[in-house]
Structure 1
Amino acid sequence: MDSALIYVLIAVVLLILAVGALLFVRGRGGTEAPPAERTAPRVEAPPASAEPAVVEEEPAAPELEKPEPAAGRMQRLRARLARSQGSLGRGLLALIARDKLDDDTWDEIEDTLIAADVGVEPTQELVEHLRTRLRVDGVNDPEQARGILREELVSLVDPSLDRTLNAGGAAGAPGVVLVVGVNGTGKTTTVGRIARVLVAEEQTVLLAAADTFRAAAADQLQTWGERVGCETVRGPEGGDPASVAFEAVKRGSDEGLDTVLVDTAGRLHTKSGLMDELGKVKRVIEKQAPVSEVLLVIDATTGQNGLVQARVFSEVVDVTGVVLTKLDGTAKGGIVIAVQRELGVPVKLVGLGEGADDLAPFVPEDFVDALLD
């Protein structure tokens, strides 16, 4: 075969193969174009808006506490006293209501009174008066005997004493109430309660935290001030109590306030150095204004020990009134009579619990009626 013919045949075969390949590829759908680049959709930012104006509101003023009216406090305290102290009065009533009041019965009456912390001398006085009246009047009726017992007890408590709280000043100076007593009697709480009553009577009051030795005493008093709406002058812990008292009374004078209540350290009455310091506090205060009231706070449950405290404090700061706290519970009640006889000054306030309103003016008739209820 001619070589030229061979080349022609080869070319034809190659052409046929090329055409076949082309047809095969087209039958499969052809080649795919490369995917187009994908771009993220354009997100338009929201239109900027002006930031809302911040309005700062004034903090709401704290709601100040107000005490229960005096009449309500007295009624509630009388009811509590009657529940806790009735043993004294009821015991006496049971004894004098006996058909026969012989010597043994009168001895029992004396023992009952002495056990109730009335004291020996007041007890003897009461028994003598009762024996005379019951014998002379020939009393056999229990109700009549109760009436005589009430009269004699009221007389023994002495309603003639002036029990007014002298919290006001004179000649432009504030009244200064110095509150003294040993630790644990409720002294700082008493200061807060008195402030509560005075502020409710629209008096301007300043507290002086002159108990600089007891941890957190100034904090406790300042908390009371915030509750009732008056400020507190305080110094560094362990600082000079007289300096704190002086600054408080000076500020009270400068600002024309009505009353400065001074809470003193709960010093032990057996330590002469501390008692001398209490005398210093009083002297320093009186460089600014006279002390109008010195209240001695006594825990009524301490009984005759309270009389020892009363005697020593009175010698140092000339006590003008007594606050008896914790008169409920185990207190005997007769301490009211004994402490007044010991000091010659009246019980002006009594406390019967831990509540803010558990402090009220002492009223002899109410006290005796509570004992006899």
Structure 2
Amino acid sequence: MEYVILGIVLAGVLLLAGVGLLVPRIRRRAVPPAPPRPTGAPEEPAEEAGGVGILAPERPTEAPEAPAPPTIETPAPTAGRLVRLRGRLSRSQNVFGKGLLSVLSRDRLDDDAWEEIEDSLIGADVGVEATGEIVGRLRDRVKVLGTRTPAELRALLSAELVEALDPTLDRSLKVGGKPSVLMVVGVNGSGKTTTCGKIARVLIADGHTVLLGAADTFRAAAAEQLTTWAGRVGAEVVRGAEGADPASVAFDAVKKGVDTGVDTVLIDTAGRLQNKVGLMDELSKVKRVVEKHGPVDETLLVLDATTGQNGLEQARVFTEVVDVTGVVLTKLDGTAKGGIVIAVQRKLGIPVKLVGLGEGPDDLAPFEPAAFVDALVGTDA
């Protein structure tokens, strides 16, 4: 009996051992390969079996796109720019072209008519002295001419206005040295920093290399504004901390210009009020410090044409402090007083070298007396 029981137990042990060997073989049976995925089909997520994932192959990580380089603008050519912008002088054209020519075309030019012409010129900020000379010569030439066709009158008026603008003055910018140094000065609100940026575009359009010095350290936005203008044409800016010594920034800008080999350094200075003696003395200091590198080739005074005769007093004081060599007359498109060009030159003997005829980046034009007068007088009687 004991042998029977022992045999049954032994048979049960062998049976359990066989099952234990068989189950792992079933579990280790290979998973059949997945059917090939069609080209372009999305990858399937990993399948889980007993908490263990069968992972799909990972996609290669794409490198981030490099930022696009800043777009460098090419300023419009300056040659003939004043002619292209002549339509911006529409308000002044109403005074000089339509106004004066209509009076000159009257059948009878009596004293009242000539007085009306004088009033028109004075109202256009030509100035009392210049107006007297222009009207006097016009009266003599009209009397000698006898006949007065519209074309003849237009030619007479144009000739007198061009003569009053003194076409013999040198209006070129003295640039092209190693480097040439240009200082830009002016009162608050004249658009000086913006004009400085536009002057840089004028120089670059004419083939010069330019570095700008942000020596207006008192107005927080001035350096940023100048940097924006420079970046659009690929020019470098030397700037200091807010409130830094302007003379030091100007000195560093010229030194940087020498080291980098540019042919022009353009220095923007803080806006000054002509009745603030201390500030004007500081502007004089900026010039003295810059001249340790060499002479300042140009000092350009930015004047707002809409200020009229007040601009003459501003110009006079700046000339006494820093020896202004040229005037940049801005906002000339927004006034009927185009005669301020004549008044500035006659009062100070300083040529107007550039005129602003709009808010666009390339609306600053080299001043040409004949083209300017032609725009004022127009082509119609």
Shorter-chain TM-score: what band?
Answer: 0.7 to 0.9
Cα displacement (A) at 1:202: 3.8
Residue 112 of structure 2, aligned match among 104, 114, 122: 104
Q: Which residue of 1 aligns with 2:149?
A: 141
Q: Describe the SS at the equivalent of 2:266.
A: strand
Residue 166 of structure 1, aligned match among 167, 170, 174: 174
In structure 2, runs of 5+ residues without a counterpart are 1-47
1:309 aligns with 2:314: yes
Preserved CA contact (<8 Å) 1:199 1:229: no
Preserved CA contact (<8 Å) 1:174 1:289: no
1:115 aligns with 2:120: no
Q: Which residue of 1 aligns with 2:42?
A: none
1:366 aligns with 2:371: yes
1:218 aligns with 2:223: yes
1:337 aligns with 2:342: yes
- Paired with 1:141 and 1:75, the residues of 2 have a C-alpha distance of 26
1:191 aligns with 2:203: no
Preserved CA contact (<8 Å) 1:181 1:298: yes
1:310-329 mapped onto 2 (5 Å cutoff): 310-329=315-334
**Radius of gyration: which is bigger?**
1
One-letter code aligned to 1:175? S
- Paired with 2:306 and 2:206, the residues of 1 have a C-alpha distance of 31
Residue 277 of structure 2, aligned match among 259, 272, 277: 272
**175 and 213 in structure 1: CA distance in 2 versus 1, 3 angstrom threshold:** same
- Paired with 1:46 and 1:259, the residues of 2 have a C-alpha distance of 68
- Paired with 2:344 and 2:187, the residues of 1 have a C-alpha distance of 16
1:200 aligns with 2:208: no
**222 and 44 in structure 1: CA distance in 2 versus 1, 3 angstrom threshold:** same
Q: Describe the SS at the equivalent of 2:333.
A: coil
**268 and 331 in structure 1: CA distance in 2 versus 1, 3 angstrom threshold:** farther
**143 and 200 in structure 1: CA distance in 2 versus 1, 3 angstrom threshold:** closer
Q: Describe the SS at the equivalent of 1:369.
A: helix
- Paired with 2:208 and 2:372, the residues of 1 have a C-alpha distance of 28
Q: Which residue of 2 aligns with 1:86?
A: 93
Q: Describe the SS at the equivalent of 1:270.
A: coil
Q: Deviations over 1:159-216 (max 9, x none)?
A: 11111111222xxx31111000001111111111121232334422111111111121
Preserved CA contact (<8 Å) 1:65 1:196: no
One-letter code aligned to 2:343? A
Preserved CA contact (<8 Å) 1:300 1:331: no
- Paired with 1:283 and 1:46, the residues of 2 have a C-alpha distance of 79
Question: Could you tell me the TM-score, scaled by structure 2's length?
Answer: 0.83
One-letter code aligned to 2:112? D
Cα displacement (A) at 1:72: 6.0
Question: Could you tell me the TM-score, scaled by structure 1's length?
Answer: 0.85
Q: Which residue of 2 aligns with 1:69?
A: 77
Aligned-residue CA RMSD (Å): 1.7
One-letter code aligned to 1:278? L
Cα displacement (A) at 1:341: 0.8
Preserved CA contact (<8 Å) 1:168 1:176: no
- Paired with 1:209 and 1:61, the residues of 2 have a C-alpha distance of 24
341-350 or 198-207, larger mean C-alpha shift: 198-207
Preserved CA contact (<8 Å) 2:76 2:205: no
Cα displacement (A) at 1:50: 5.5
1:293 aligns with 2:301: no
- Paired with 1:329 and 1:302, the residues of 2 have a C-alpha distance of 11
Q: Percent identity?
A: 65
One-letter code aligned to 1:262? I
Cα displacement (A) at 1:51: 6.1
Q: Describe the SS at the equivalent of 1:52.
A: coil
- Paired with 1:41 and 1:47, the residues of 2 have a C-alpha distance of 11
Q: Describe the SS at the equivalent of 1:261.
A: strand
Number of matched residues? 330
